[in-house]
Structure 1
């Protein structure tokens, strides 16, 4: 694992000005004026395309197609991670079609990922089929649980490529895919199967490929790429609707070429939100600069903004990309942490032998059992990967039942998953979080006379401190 982009001051990429100046000739528009500006993109090294960007806990992840192979014949998928959307770490190969997938060994394209049930589900195109692989970590390794495609070539009209996943507020996940035709289907709770009778064609006018869906302030945004990826006119359009399956109202194009900067073919994008903000960013590929074409592409990130009426503003493609992002409230997922009270710094959230939660003192001299009871693995929320669940070493989850907090083994139900999911909100002090119940919005994990409860929010300093915790190094 290595750092893709070293930290420090914003800088000129070596040769960036020469590249920009040469772009008009190499990209076929001699005579265009190319402004001299710092080129901080591409944000990933080498040739990549079709980036899927997502945030788990306090970390952003990106999963692209590795580009530049003859005939797009790549066989491997890699993962990259970042705390700020600027400095990226390369985690290496997370799935290799040759040894890891029995039914395909070429054309590894356009992946997507989602977290649920404490695991990560990786959807990908392989030889124009769609597969799914599963891991305990967002950086793999991923394993094929089916031994066959999730959606086989020829199952529907168009190509079976470009999967995308959207999980709604109720915990229901949807799988989108297609080239030529766009389709969607609700995934079953296991995330690796679906009811084929529920597949819906949602193809809009102008659709080619690269579906992506988000939700903002009650509105669903369905986005896609138009024209061929090898065409400089490759671009992103979108529609809005009242549900994850529509009906959709096309709104127009939000990202397209800018020949004055040498930017051609920007498309096949994904979008990520900074938690607890209305800040959004779009990751996409474009022809490599200079001298790229539709089979030699690179990945970059720019801002995505909304107008006051909720429509998406036209994205301004840049060579400079974005500044580091630090806002948002988040917890570090896939790590062990103890939850220390803000109001009583020597006390921690613990679970007693009766499996009920309390706030109790924990020190270096405490017994091993007490330390273990104050130690949790933070994972993406069982009901919503943008939130969190807390698991102990025996596999039980911090769960509220009748508004009392306890540790229970999962029974796999939707209700349990919701009861065991908490969303991070800003705490009463810097670096702390408040944990809002996913199942009962407006209620927070709070200690009252040292008993852990889920209580309705009260607008006073005592409640805010009682419902604020700092995720610190684990006791065990």
Structure 2
């Protein structure tokens, strides 16, 4: 999930948070359908859209951090819409405890449809048999679940990427099925990895390849438009910035070579993390993100209390994506023309 920069930068932001909370007179969200944040009764993060017919499903993590906790995430939720304005809450689709080999952290996820089933990939903390973060896979006959562990073990463990520098590099899975029917999975923190999945969707097929683009931090997202492949991700220029932004690269093939295209967005409001999910729905493209601008009762948004947002996404004639400004209006207003 876009959660993993856990050490010095996170602690600095956490200590500075009371000052940020005092400056929130401008943070009241809009109320028009389609405005941001999308969901206001609970804190959500790491949005992952899936289009099935005339419905868009949005899978999110559920932030439950109390007081000064950084991250407390135990379950994944799903919402659906047919018009991008009104949303149906389908509740939890799965808890991290449903993976008996995992011990904590229902972090970023993505679901994909293939061969009449819905496959759900998520980052969790593995138990002590394989220390570190891992990627789980679950399956369901419905996009709203119930989902069950499809493998009984992790798809990816920290020991499978030994060149990494830390124990939480194997997070934030994104899954993509190419035109030839092959499904790929990419993931990572600090290092970005990609691998082919076997047709059974629960095993890696072949080598794991590193594809780390400039300033890659976490939260990769794969999609294709026309003949161009896109790798969008949370980026961090550690020499000049404290908070993540969204950047992207493009390629003529899912296997690269990837060309860096620059930043797509700025940072999320009040949030050092950001996480992109992209989908085409009923002829328009959308970019889902999160920030920390939502207040619920006496709880301000914070490192462990984020809120999912959405913006219109548009492309230039050469296939590059137009920079996206994050707004409170969201998709309650038409896209710029």
Give the TM-score taking structure 1 as reference length: 0.57
Partner of 2:96: 97
Equivalence for 1:382: none
**Aligned residue runs from structure 1 range 36-115, under 5 A:** 38-39=30-31, 40-45=35-40, 46-69=42-65, 70-98=69-97, 100-115=98-113
When residues 178 and 93 of structure 1 are mapped into structure 2, their CA distance, relative to the original with a 3 A threshold, is same
From 315, 327, 333, the equivalent of 1:318 is: 327
Q: 1:252 aligns with which of 262, 267, 270?
A: 262
Q: Secondary structure at the match of 2:276?
A: strand
What RMSD in Å do the two structures reach over aligned CA positions? Answer: 2.7
TM-fit CA distance, 1:28: 6.9
Aligned to 1:194: 204
Please list the CA deviations of residues 3-29 of structure 1 after superposition, one character each: whole Å capped at 9, or x if unmatched: xxxxxxxxxxxxxxxxxxxxxx96379
Aligned to 2:311: 302
1:271/1:86 Cα in 2 relative to 1: closer, same or farther (>3 Å)?
Answer: same
1:361-386 residue CA offsets vs partner (Å, 9 max, x unmatched): xxxxxxxxxxxxxxxxxxxxxxxxxx
For residues 29 and 146 of structure 2, the distance between their equivalents in structure 1, rounded to whole angstroms, comes to 39
Using the alignment, how far apart are the partners of 1:266 and 1:73 within structure 2? 15
Deviation for aligned residue 1:118: 0.8
Indicate the structure (1 or 2) with the bigger Cα radius of gyration.
Answer: 1
Match for 1:164 among 145, 159, 174? 174
Look up the SS of the partner of 1:27 in the other structure.
helix
Please give the TM-score of this superposition, normalised by the length of structure 2: 0.80
Matched, 1:270 2:265: no
Unaligned stretches of 5+ in structure 2?
A: 1-17, 126-132
Task: Give distance in 1, aligned partners of 2:84 and 2:333.
Answer: 6
Going from structure 1 to structure 2, the CA distance change for 1:33 and 1:215 (only over 3 Å counts) comes to: same
Residues 267 and 274, structure 2, Cα contact 8 Å, conserved in 1: no
Give the corresponding residue for 2:3: none
Q: Residues 60 and 77 of structure 2 are in contact (CA less than 8 Å); yes or no, is this contact kept in structure 1? A: yes
Kept after mapping to 2: 8 A contact 1:68/1:297? no
In structure 1, the gaps of 5 or more residues are 1-24, 326-476
Change (3 A) 1:152 1:37: closer
Report the counterpart of residue 118 of structure 1 in structure 2.
Answer: 116
Q: 1:113 to 1:49 in 2, by over 3 A?
A: same
> Shift in Å at residue 267 of structure 1?
2.1
Residues 29 and 205 of structure 1, relative CA distance in 2, 3 Å threshold = farther
Q: Paired residues, what number?
A: 293
In the TM superposition, what is the alpha-carbon distance from 1:68 to its structure 2 partner?
A: 3.4
CA contact (8 A) 2:27 2:293 kept: no
For 1:106 and 1:145, locate their aligned partners in 2 and report how far apart those are by CA, in whole Å. Answer: 18
Structure 1 residues 198 and 74, CA gap change in structure 2 (3 angstroms): same
Checking the alignment, whether the CA contact within 8 Å between 2:27 and 2:294 is kept in structure 1 is no
For 2:95 and 2:28, locate their aligned partners in 1 and report how far apart those are by CA, in whole Å.
Answer: 40
- Residues 51 and 270, structure 1, Cα contact 8 Å, conserved in 2: yes
**Cα distance change of structure 1 residues 29 and 247 upon mapping to structure 2, 3 Å threshold:** farther
Moved more, 311-320 or 37-46: 37-46
Higher RCO (CA < 8 A, seq sep 6+): 2
Matched, 1:214 2:223: yes
The answer (yes or no) to whether the contact 1:75–1:106 under 8 Å persists in 2 is yes
1:93-137 CA-to-partner distances (Å, cap 9, x unmatched) read 211222x21101310110111111110100011112100001100
Distance in 1 between the 2:123 and 2:189 partners?
11
Aligned-pair CA distance for 1:67: 1.1
Q: Is the 2:188–2:219 contact (alpha carbons within 8 Å) kept by the matching residues of 1?
A: yes
Superposed CA deviations along residues 141-180 of structure 1, whole A, max 9, x for unmatched, are 1111211111113321252110000111221111011111
SS at match of 1:322: helix
Give yes or no for contact 2:275–2:289 (8 Å, CA) kept in 1.
Answer: yes
For residues 193 and 103 of structure 1, the distance between their equivalents in structure 2, rounded to whole angstroms, comes to: 17
List structure 1 runs of 4+ shifted beyond 6 angstroms: none
Contact 2:56 2:281 in 1 (8 A): no
Q: Distance in 2 between matches of 1:36 and 1:140?
A: 34
